[in-house]
Structure 1
Amino acid sequence: MHLQELINTTKLLVADNKGLLAMDESYPTCNKRFAKLGIPQTAELRRDYREMIVTTAGLNESISGAILFNETIHQQLKDGSSFIKVLNNKGIIPGIKVDGGTVAMAGHPGEKITEGLDNLRYRLEEYAKMGLRFAKWRAVITIGKGIPTQACIQANAHALARYAALCQEAGLVPIVEPEVLMDGDHTMERCFEVTEQVLHTVFNQLYKQGVMLEGMILKPNMIVPGLACKKQESIDEVANATVKCLLRTVPAAVPGIAFLSGGQSPELASARLNTMNVRFKNKLPWELSFSFGRAIQEPALDIWHGKEKNIPAAQKALYHRAVCNRAARQGEYNIEMERK
């Protein structure tokens, strides 16, 4: 393993107040978002959409790395350039989603396990040869009546740790994503309790698998109430609870924490990240960054609508959201940026 190279790449991914752009939606997820807007669900339109994203001027000012989907890395822009080459030329580090998605966990109704470890070593070797420098694996934890169970948490944490060890063996930085979902009517306190348990378990498994913490990034959820919960805490309360949970669970050796947006609105995700950095930046052992998908892409997708004539306006919206999140990393985001 090239340990120093892993450490250097990890540092670059969280440097300069930049963050990650998650554009790794699977076929079903991307098609679902297209269908909602009446966009035909074809491989060519998915390619067009992702070309619109990576060719956005100035994106590298706020984005350090982009997480791609397997379909995308084998596609080309209309001028024949590969997506990987375009990102590298912009100074954006290309990465890849490597998990195989979630399936129902046997014997555990309402819970899921992520698949994809079979042949992962060989896939990672190929990805590294293609010039990809980091990878992502997502585990899903649902809060509900009697769940999550310890069995579900342990199984997903073990898979995350095995994936991370294989990534580092291949010279790729692992993005470790244990997502406690926002779906449901659970309180913020319940989210805190579950997330704390999940993160303790994940880092225990990472230690057992020999994962070098200096060469990885954690991609967690923020501590938020369920979307259907009657009580929705303030931005300040969410920021305080999130940092408190992370201080209890995340070792100082981890260079960066890049939050997922998880269904938050673009503005709320930026505001919550901003408040964390206003209150705690330079007081924490790790960088607080972002790895947003919908919270960066959604406004641009709504504008693009599958039509070439809308590309300039869509790219302007995408650039704006990226700039807002870089400002949030600096603790300089405010509502005036949205009005402009």
Structure 2
Amino acid sequence: MASATLLKSSFLPKKGEWGTTRQAAGPKPVTVSMVVHASAYADELVQTAKTISSPGRGIIAMDESNATIGKRLASIGLENTEANRQAYRTVLVRTPGLGQYISGAILFEETLYQSTVDGEKIVDVLVEQGIVPGIKVDKGLVPLAGSNNESWCQGLDGLASREAAYYQAGARFAKWRTVVSIPTGPSELAVKEAAWGLARYAAISQENGLVPIVEPEILLDGDHGIKRTFEVAQKVWAETFYYLAQNNVLFEGILLKPSMVTPGADCKEKATPEQIAHYTLKLLHRRVPPAVPGILFLSGGQSEVEATLNLNAMNQSPNPWHVSFSYARALQNSCLKTWAGRPENVKAAQNALLLRAKANSLAQLGKYSSDGEDAAAREGMYVKNYSY
């Protein structure tokens, strides 16, 4: 399939090429040369993206690095050991009926090759539930030299060989997260670096059979209003899709994981779910081609209920995409606290996860109500300069 969508007027002749006089036969025709992407995995990529973008389902992001999941475990008094990480991930993937609401699971490399506590490969457990296994492939954020104290995402070196191995291990999609911070600019350099890195990662992923999740996150840090977030997001997404096209990425075989358009975490003027939905959908309509099958939002430090309410508001009107969720803390927070590392709490913890998964499934269908949600689910989870 062709993906050489032209988002800028680069195909137009340069000013000096038009000539100063018109010939009698009329101007010479302009020839447009387009590169067509022809990955051997094209059909499979499209099918995987469609499967993940199935009605009433979304993604569970359980790809925290060992350091980050260590912080999660510490919050319930557990040591950061492989055995404890394995036990917690077993609680998640062994939740009965999870596949009814979850279509994909993003894994950390350790988890991709890990087994449950009862000895079955985690990848196999997910597939049995009808959940597509995915893999986090970036190598994390580092300072961006020459910028205004901003960051860039590393991990392109050796990516092709790593992804080929991940595909053999059962992964069928990938995730690469980079961030843009509004209080520090963002600088033109940081925006271009984020967009180019995402585009190169996406092209490499598709060549190795993995559907790339494209994730340029606009951090919640700052006291700016929702309109400022909207302005920055438009700029970031314009650059991102331009470079995706430049790299001949197949749009039908990608998924997006953007942050919702919200005010900064320290903004005094809060936004309603309806306002957030308005600006976020406006951004999608202005920047995202309808060929992209799925938009799976990150929660970005919102409370469990906030993230679900905002998603629900976005699905109150029709749009050309599958607008859904790819949540980590907004799906797992109640589950983790309920489990607390105790075997006798496993069933209750799984029920808590299923409750949140079902709530977001309903939100994807535009049928969610927050009536009956407890106070714990309404607690915000914002962390300044969040990275993992």
The question of a shared fold, defined as TM-score above 0.5 by the shorter chain, is answered with yes
Give the corresponding residue for 1:144. Answer: 183
Asked if 1:263 is matched to 2:301, the reply is yes
* Residue 336 of structure 1: how far off its partner (Å): 2.5
Alpha-carbon contact 2:57-2:102 (below 8 Å) kept: yes
Is the Cα contact below 8 Å between 1:140 and 1:179 reproduced in 2?
A: yes
Distance between the aligned counterparts of 2:204 and 2:177, measured in 1?
15
3-state SS of paired residue (1:274): helix
Matched residue type, 1:94: P
1:68 aligns with 2:103: no
Is the 2:183–2:221 contact (alpha carbons within 8 Å) kept by the matching residues of 1? Answer: no
Distance 1:312 1:110 in 2: 45
Query: Which amino acid in 2 is paired with 1:182?
Result: L
Distance 2:278 2:227 in 1: 12
Q: Which residue of 2 aligns with 1:200?
A: 238
Q: Residues 300 and 315 of structure 1 are in contact (CA less than 8 Å); yes or no, is this contact kept in structure 2?
A: yes
Please state whether the residue corresponding to 1:87 is helix, strand or coil: helix
- Which residue in 2 is equivalent to 1:42? 81
TM score, norm. by length of structure 1: 0.96
Q: Which amino acid aligns with 2:218?
A: V
Q: 2:124 is matched with which residue: 79, 85, 90?
A: 85
2:272 maps to 1:234: yes
Would the aligned equivalents of 1:196 and 1:245 in 2 still touch at CA under 8 Å?
yes
After TM superposition, the structure 1 = structure 2 runs for residues 128-277 of structure 1, keeping only pairs within 5 Å, are 128-145=167-184, 147-277=185-315
What is the rounded CA distance, in whole Å, between the counterparts of 2:69 and 2:231 in structure 1?
32
> Could you say which residue in structure 2 is the equivalent of 1:9?
48
- Counterpart Cα distance in 2 of 1:26 and 1:239: 31
User: Does residue 19 of the first structure (1) align with residue 58 of the second (2)?
Assistant: yes
Choose from 337, 340, 349 the match for 1:314.
349
RMSD over aligned Cα, in angstroms? 1.1
Distance, in Å, in 2 between the alignment partners of 1:71 and 1:171 is 20
Distance 2:111 2:124 in 1: 12
Distance in 2 (alpha carbons) for counterparts of 1:219 and 1:335: 24
Equivalence for 2:67:
28
2:361 & 2:349 partners in 1: Cα distance? 19
Give the conservation status (yes or no) of the 8 Å contact 1:144–1:184. Answer: yes
Corresponding residue for residue 383 of structure 2? none
3-state SS of paired residue (1:144): coil
Does structure 2 conserve the Cα–Cα contact (< 8 Å) formed by 1:186 and 1:229? yes
Stretches (4+) displaced over 6 A: none
Q: Matches of 2:291 and 2:112 in 1, distance apart?
A: 31
User: Structure 1: how far apart are the matches of 2:127 and 2:356?
Assistant: 21
Aligned to 1:55: 94
Question: Is 1:297–2:332 an aligned residue pair?
Answer: yes
Of structures 1 and 2, the larger Rg is shown by 2
Higher helix share: 1
User: In the alignment, residue 139 of structure 2 is paired with which amino acid?
Assistant: G
Deviations 1:254-277 (A, max 9, x none): 111000000010101000100110
1:53-76 deviation per Cα after TM superposition (whole angstroms, max 9, x unaligned): 000011001000100000111211
After TM superposition, give the deviation of residue 193 of structure 1 in Å: 0.7
- Contact 1:188/1:233 (8 A) holds in 2: yes
With normalisation by structure 2, the TM-score equals: 0.85
Letter aligned with residue 338 of structure 2: I
For the residues of structure 1 that align with 2:251 and 2:148, how far apart are their CA atoms?
33
Question: How many angstroms apart in 1 are the aligned matches of 2:349 and 2:241?
Answer: 39
Identity of aligned residues (%): 46
TM-superposed CA distance for 1:337, in Å, is 5.4
Q: Retained in 1: the 8 A contact 2:134–2:172?
A: yes
CA distance in 1 between partners of 2:283 and 2:60 (Å): 24
Q: 1:11 to 1:337 in 2, by over 3 A?
A: farther
1:324–1:337 CA contact under 8 A, matched in 2: no
C-alpha separation between the residues in 1 aligned to 2:247 and 2:117? 43
| Counterparts in 2 of 1:37 and 1:228: CA distance versus 1, 3 Å | farther
1:19 and 1:62 in contact (8 A); partners too? yes
**Residue 335 in structure 1 maps to residue 370 in structure 2:** yes
Structure 1: 5+ residue stretches without partners: none
